[in-house]
Amino acid sequence: MTMLRANFGDLLAPGMNHIFQNMFNLYPSGIEQIYNMMTSKRQYETDSYVTGFGLVPQANEGAPVAYDDIIQGLDTEYNHDTYKLAYGITREMYEDERYGAINRMPESLGRSTRITIETDGANQLNRAETAGYTGADGKTLLSTTHDLVGGGTQKNRLTSAADFAMSSLEQALIDIAETTDDRGLPLHLNPIKLIYPVELDWTVKQVLKSGSDPSNANDQFNPAGGILTPICNHFLTDPDAWFIECSEHYMYWYWRVKPEHSRDNDFSTDNGMFKVRMRWSRGWSMPWGIFGSMGV
């Protein structure tokens, strides 16, 4: 008869998983405020698009109809990265520990997991103008020269970088309103969010929540009041950077494997081993619908 040793890891698994999940879900998700959240069941995801048609031309009486062609857009590939981290607990630690250290280990792993996810999600914006972090058109997320497959270029950042203020917000909204598709037709983007670092929280609230124009001493009506939802992201690293996101945008986060908290047991040492593992990819397929400035 086979003698089965009591599985030490089994004794700890339920409680530790509960603690891990509680810490992982401790505060609202920041990535869900930035990305369209997707799931994936494949090694990678590929996103592509085709343009629409141009304007309909006027035709003379009896003249033949003009033909137009749609144009193949650029392809974006989302390759999922794997993240994992583990820790071990000796049988003796389990037997003798009296100060809550065991419970702090899954708490710490839960926080580490969540902060890793939020940091990587915010890094898409932190690196919005960093060389080497480019999209399908070879340009950084924010650029004044994004290529249109129908010809020409278009911008999704201010021509001259500026800190957040009434004047720079006004210019950003004008530029967003003038954004066209690849055939030059207006996209009619609808700005809904302002994403910014904690250093700008006071300034943003003055601009977006004041009943009167904070930049005008004559107590005039504030046209910016309430037009955007302010979202403070604590993982943005540039204190001057700010981003406007529209109701339609092409920023994607693909979950291949959501965080899994698992356990194993080492036969020779009696150690209980606990691990978190997750896989995701994130990026943008087209730059339209996100607009910003890294400040000055």
pLDDT (tens digit per residue) in 68-84: 999 999 999 999 999 99
Domains in the chain: ranges and CATH: 8-52+74-293 (3.90.1690)
Predicted confidence at residue 155, as pLDDT, reads 96
Contacts of 23 by beta carbon, 8 Å cutoff, 6+ apart: 106, 107, 108, 109, 110, 111, 114
Please say whether the beta carbons of 105 and 89 come within 8 A.
yes
Predicted confidence at residue 4, as pLDDT, reads 37
Please say whether the beta carbons of 43 and 281 come within 8 A.
no
Average confidence (pLDDT) over 59-76: 93
Confidence of residue 134 (pLDDT cuts 50, 70, 90): very high
* CA distance readout (Å), 70 to 48, 52, 53: 13, 6, 6
Instruction: Using a pLDDT cut of 70, give the percent of the chain over it.
Output: 91
**pTM, to two decimals:** 0.87
Predicted confidence at residue 226, as pLDDT, reads 87
Predicted confidence at residue 5, as pLDDT, reads 41
Q: Is 287 exposed, middle or buried (0-12, 13-18, 19+ CB in 10 A)?
A: buried
Candidates 49, 25, 50, 38; CA nearest to 282 is 38
Average confidence (pLDDT) over 173-181: 96
- Could you identify the residue written with the tokens 């290529």? 147
254-276 pLDDT, tens digit per residue, is 999 999 888 887 778 878 888 99
- 140 residue type, one letter: T
Please say whether the beta carbons of 166 and 207 come within 8 A.
yes
Predicted confidence at residue 218, as pLDDT, reads 60
Average pLDDT value over all residues in the chain:
88
Please say whether the beta carbons of 106 and 17 come within 8 A.
yes
85-131 pLDDT, tens digit per residue, is 998 888 887 777 676 777 788 888 888 999 999 999 999 999 999 99
Predicted confidence at residue 107, as pLDDT, reads 84
Q: Could you tell me which residues are beta bridge partners of residue 146?
A: 154
Predicted confidence at residue 6, as pLDDT, reads 45
